[in-house]
Structure 1
Amino acid sequence: MNKKLSFSLLLLLSGSTAFAQSLTSAPDNWFNLDPKVDHVQGVSTEKTYKELLKGKKYQTTIVAVIDGGVDTTHEDLKAVLWKNKKEIAGNGIDDDKNGYIDDVYGWNFIGGKDGRNINHESMELTRLYAPLDAKYKDAPPTAELAKQTDYQEYLKLKKAYDKELNETKERYETYTGFLKQLNKINDVLKAQLKVNKLDIATLEKVNTGDEKINKLAANIKEMLQANGCTDMDDQIEKLTEGIDDLKGKLDYGLNTASNERAIVGDDPSNMNDNNYGNSDVTGPDAGHGSHVAGIIAAVRNNSIGMNGVADHVQIMAVRAVPNGDERDKDVANAIRYAVDNGARVINMSFGKSYSYDKKAVDDAVKYAASKDVLLIHAAGNDANNNDTTANFPNRNFADGKSAANWIEVGALSWKNGSQSVANFSNYGKNSVDVFAPGVDIYSTVPFSKYKSNSGTSMASPVVAGIAAVIRSYFPQLTALQVKEIILKSAEKLPNLEVVEPGSEDKKLIKFTDLSTTGGVVNLYNAIKLADAQTKQRKK
């Protein structure tokens, strides 16, 4: 999982204030709200439970979260975690003989048997480039050498690697300088205004005799509104997180000498090996995975935190995604583990631009299909067209066929009109299926805390939650039928034109051209369709 800079951070650094509209911040719980009633493009979760699901029979559905870890002690998650009833915690014995010792909440494929865990990892680009660089960096270029296929691959990877390294260094230096400037402005304004915190309400009231201070306060207010931040401390925290991600990328992601995999102690090139890892499904950084898990299934209506999309769900935690790029071997084994242990829906909020062994993942996806398991995957946060830009894993197989049990998800903003689509979201008329809320999504993070995050990583679990609700209340439906219902019931927006993600000149494009459905997932519509189809089949 190569962490990308957030939507808010990108806006901040661009200096843009064009995104502030009639709504200046995301409404609470907006992804669960209803478009008609609440005037925000949520998925109608609350309306669905109130009008369609009250008193209806259900079965508990297991949803696997393949991610960087899930906090198993979180106040809003611990009640919905999957527990392996056949396993006795902490006895050091594989009680259920599934090959994994003490896998009570799931399994960790990026940990060692000695209890250590990988946190940061290299990018797949680095892992592919490093051995070729060691082989060819000192080789004199000759006509004979130029004919060799792996040398040509080396030159191609070197160009990509050098570009990535230089751009990352430049961004790190720029953002570090900007952080210093922002901290200075924060201190100056707080001193001038005699306040402890610069929030939007305070900045709106600024009217001093110094026009420079007035203008600075107005600019800061607009920046906070544009970036979905509550105050300057929030903005500084987001910028700091982005800088930390860049430092991790330089120290580990793009470091050709890094070998964090030694912690696991396996042969990462042996795709047939699955006897590795440990039972620590939380790991050293469970922020991303806990946030994802909360969107899917944080306990509903318990008067704390927030409401997930799905009730009657158990979250199986499968740790396979470091801060860096996940390995194909781990992803393949994670999918197989989830399937073998009862997951009916798998959320995969990760991705990368290169693949070491796509076939291993493809085979695992086919295995999931054979066991009637639905896979939900985040489209990515690079503002790329996935029809023309490589993004892994994906549903396309080498033989030209594709996985029918796969839904690819783009990210939607809470803003309306031309700003409806997140400007970071990947898209694709043929490769992305549908869009879901993915900007300023408030959910669970470690230590029983909560925060708002943005990304297709947040949009994917919204869809996984919808799939889980359908599979809980209509357990007779197959994975392919659930997928069909989700896509057919998506809210179509045929007249909407949006800013093309990544467009510097704010080019408008039809929303219908960004995905196969041209729609936004909606739980209310999906349950109505599932109910109608189920009744029809009974006739």
Structure 2
Amino acid sequence: MTIAVPRRWTLALLGLAFTTAAQAQSAATPTTADLSAQQWYLKDPQLDKVPGIGATRAYNELLKNKVPTPVIVAVIDSGIDTAHVDLKPVLWRNRGEIPGNKIDDDKNGYVDDVHGWNFLGGADGRNIGVETLEMTRLVAAGRVKFKGKTLKQVPAAQRAEFELYQKAETAYAKRVKDETGRDEQMQGMVEPLTMMVMMLKHELKTEKLDTLTLREAKFTDPNLGRVRDGLLAMMRETHLPDTDAVLKEVTSAADQGHSMVSKSLNLEYNPRPDIVKDNPDDLTQRYYGNNDLYATDPLHGTHVAGIIAAARDNNLGVQGVAGPMIRIMPVRAVPDGDERDKDVANAIRYAVDNGASIINMSFGKDFSPQRKAVDEAYRYAASKNVLLVHAAGNEDDNLDVDPHYPAPTLLDGKPVPNLLTVGASGPLDNESLTADFSNYSKKYVDVFAPGVAIFNTLPGSTYGNENGTSMAAPVTAGIAATLKSYFPGLTAVQLKDIIQKSAQVHHTQVRVPGTDKKADFATLSATGGVVNLYEAVKLAQTVAK
């Protein structure tokens, strides 16, 4: 699963706790409250001077007198809080199912799939929360089959598998070393950070430390001033509203880092046989899982769903990118760890077979041993005129050099005509326009979209900021859904073409993610642009005639 904030970025931010005021950003930089409360990414580059997508302007100027049509958007993710006040009105409803009767009324192979399906569950109602990484699974299986053998000792028919195993062994050894070190750092950071926050709260006699309170605080002790400056810098970098939110983020990152070491990289850990009880290697199996869409941790999927289509007209919380006739179909296939190719392929097929026109895929991994099954699902979606929108990933990698999966090309090297790959951009048209965690590629990333300080739905009918290409993809899927809703005749390929051609090109000198180098923003993706709903609607009006 592509997490919202990469661990390497979180650790870098933790180091900011010891920066000085001179190193911190200017107080004139927009704060979290400035950005999130206004959903900056819905703003317009021309009218508001913010590199958003022009959604508010598009609805006010171009779509207000047009009649939308129903569109289903599938969200293949970690799960969704279907009771959220901003999501409940926009959930897809399978009219062929009678809720709770434990009968497959519509005969589609899935019992009581009233709002969607969960491929990570068991028939007894239990669910997988944490999975291993794909490299862990490859190493565990490869050591049984190939340990101690050389290439010459392996039958010719198995040599490709052997070479993949060797590659996984190398990657696994590095990942174990890196993650173990990060885990130790994170575990050692939670307590000191908690103490710093408590100390400042005590000194200022307050229960809440937001950016305004911290900026205005006066200290005679220079050490307290340095702590305050470090916390402010961290809050600006993470776009979190107060120190409690920072602590929650850091604690969550520490927990996830520990889970990575103890479970996702554990060669002995394998919850699948006990819970799902399928054969993961049998790619013909499609009918397994359960209908529990909340499952173990729906935060990621809930946020993604809200970005696409949180109710726009209920005067609550936030507004989704896409308008009133959009329905969200949750399909759970993404654990904390790496999704399996089999589940991804089945999730795509489920979404297509049940009427989705657009599928959002905010996940990714480093290895794809059953890639052929995903390719076949891609082709199936294309045959049914379904657009796939995929997050480029949060590893600050150049995808020209370091491929990630699901891939934007098929095994034969041909591009997937109905797939958009999306990098993440930020709220300021300066050197930080490219999110510093975002993967990029002139060849394999199609567009960028807002993916920093994205304020939207969280479980329990709450709201908050998340960062990642996981957020940029649903912004783009929301644009695609809006176009399909108001111009229903557009094909998946036309939707992709319109979104690419209408993207707003920037020639801003930006930091290349993962480096200290600067580059023209336009060189980091195929289009060089940030998606824009306003311009996309204008172009769609000419294409749809």
Contact 2:2 / 2:393 at 8 angstroms: preserved in 1? no
Letter in 2 for 1:366: R
Question: 1:65-144 counterparts in 2 under 5 A?
Answer: 65-137=75-147, 139=148
1:398 pairs with one of 411, 427, 436: 411
Instruction: Report the equivalent of 2:356.
Output: 343
Q: Where does the alignment leave 5 or more consecutive residues of structure 2 unmatched?
A: none
Aligned match of 2:54: 44
Q: Which amino acid aligns with 1:422?
A: A
Separation (CA, whole Å) in 2 of partners of 1:395 and 1:204 = 45
Q: Does the aligned pair in 2 maintain the 1:47–1:524 contact within 8 Å?
A: yes
Correspondent of 1:379 among 361, 381, 392: 392
1:113 shift after superposition: 1.1
Matched to 1:282, the amino acid is Y
Cα distance in 2 for partners of 1:523, 1:441 equals 17
1:143 shift after superposition: 9.1
- Give how far 1:283 is off: 1.3
**Distance (whole Å) between structure 2 residues aligned to residue 57 and residue 206 of structure 1:** 52
Asked if 1:269 corresponds to 2:281, the answer is yes
CA contact (8 A) 1:11 1:227 kept: no
CA contact (8 A) 1:266 1:276 kept: yes
Letter in 2 for 1:491: Q
- CA deviations over 1:476-534 (Å, ceiling 9, x no partner): 111111111111111111x311000111x3x1011111100000100000001111222
Q: Secondary structure at the match of 1:339?
A: helix
Aligned 8 A contact 1:327 1:356 in 2? no
Compute the displacement of 1:400 (Å): 2.5
Aligned counterpart, 2:182? 171
Map Cα deviations across residues 378-430 of structure 1 (whole Å, 9 max, x no partner): 00000001111120001211223221001000001112311111000000000
Structure 2 counterpart of 1:12, one-letter code: L
Q: Is 2:426 the counterpart of 1:413?
A: yes
Task: Map 1:294-313 to 2 at 5 A.
Answer: 294-311=306-323, 312-313=325-326
How far 1:265 moved relative to its partner? 0.6
2:443 is equivalent to residue 430 of structure 1: yes
**Deviation of residue 359 (structure 1)?**
0.6
2:31 matched to 1:24?
yes
Once residues 280 and 383 of structure 2 are traced to their aligned partners in structure 1, the CA distance between those partners, rounded to angstroms, is 26
Matched residue SS, 2:544: helix
Determine the structure 1 residue equivalent to 2:521.
Answer: 511
Offset at 1:286?
A: 0.9
Q: 1 CA distance for matches of 2:493 and 2:56?
A: 25
Counterpart selection for 1:290 from 298, 302, 322: 302
Q: One-letter code of the match for 1:167?
A: D
Offset of 1:59 from its aligned partner?
Answer: 0.7
In the TM superposition, residue 195 of structure 1 has moved relative to its aligned partner by: 2.3
Cα distance 1:23–1:43, how it changes in 2: closer, same or farther (>3 A)? same
C-alpha spacing 1:496/1:192, structure 2 compared with 1 (3 Å): same
Question: Are 1:229 and 2:240 an aligned pair?
Answer: yes
Shift of 1:83: 0.3
Q: 1:104 to 1:501 in 2, by over 3 A?
A: same
Say whether the 8 Å CA contact 1:182–1:236 is kept in structure 2. yes
For the residue of structure 2 that corresponds to 1:417, the secondary structure is: coil
2:3 and 2:468 in contact (8 A); partners too: no
Deviations 1:133-153 (A, max 9, x none): 23455x4x7796599846555
Q: Secondary structure at the match of 1:360?
A: helix
Mean Cα displacement is larger for which, 41-50 or 223-232? 223-232
* Distance in 1 separating the partners of 2:163 and 2:457: 46
Corresponding residue for residue 509 of structure 2: 497
Rounded to whole Å, the distance in 2 between the matches of 1:143 and 1:452 is 49
Residues 413-463 of structure 1 show CA distances to partners (whole Å, capped at 9, x for unaligned) of 112311111000000000000000001111111111111100000000000
TM-score (norm 2): 0.93
Bigger mean CA deviation after superposition, 238-247 or 213-222: 213-222
Counterparts of 2:468 and 2:270, CA distance in 1: 28
2:487 equivalent in structure 1: 474
> Does the aligned pair in 2 maintain the 1:76–1:294 contact within 8 Å?
yes
Q: CA–CA distance in 2 between the matches of 1:461 and 1:302?
A: 21
For residue 10 of structure 2, what is the aligned residue in structure 1?
Answer: 9
Provide the aligned C-alpha RMSD in A. 1.9
Distance 2:74 2:490 in 1: 19
Q: 1:311-350 deviations in whole A, cap 9, x for unaligned?
A: 1100011111111100000110110111111000000000
Taking the aligned partners of 2:341 and 2:142, their CA distance within structure 1 comes to 20
Letter in 1 for 2:98: I
* Cα contact 1:498–1:509 (8 A) shared by 2: yes
CA distance in 2, matches of 1:187, 1:135: 53
Q: Which amino acid aligns with 1:189?
A: L
Q: CA distance change for structure 1 residues 130 and 144 in 2, over 3 Å: closer, same or farther?
A: same
Do the aligned partners of 1:24 and 1:226 also contact (CA within 8 Å) in 2? no
Note the C-alpha offset of 1:23: 2.0
Q: For residues 226 and 263 of structure 2, what CA distance do their matches in structure 1 show? A: 41
For 1:442 and 1:502, locate their aligned partners in 2 and report how far apart those are by CA, in whole Å: 25
**Can you list the C-alpha shifts for 1:177-235, whole angstroms capped at 9, x where unaligned?**
12222112112222222222222222222223323323332333233223322221111
Distance 1:401 1:68 in 2: 29
Distance of 2:316 and 2:122 partners within structure 1: 35
Q: 1:485 to 1:177 in 2, by over 3 A?
A: same
Q: How many residue pairs get matched?
A: 530
Q: Does the residue aligned with 2:423 lie in a helix, a strand or coil?
A: strand
Partner of 1:206: 217
Q: Give the alignment's TM-score, normalised by structure 1.
A: 0.94
Contact 2:93 2:114 in 1 (8 A): yes
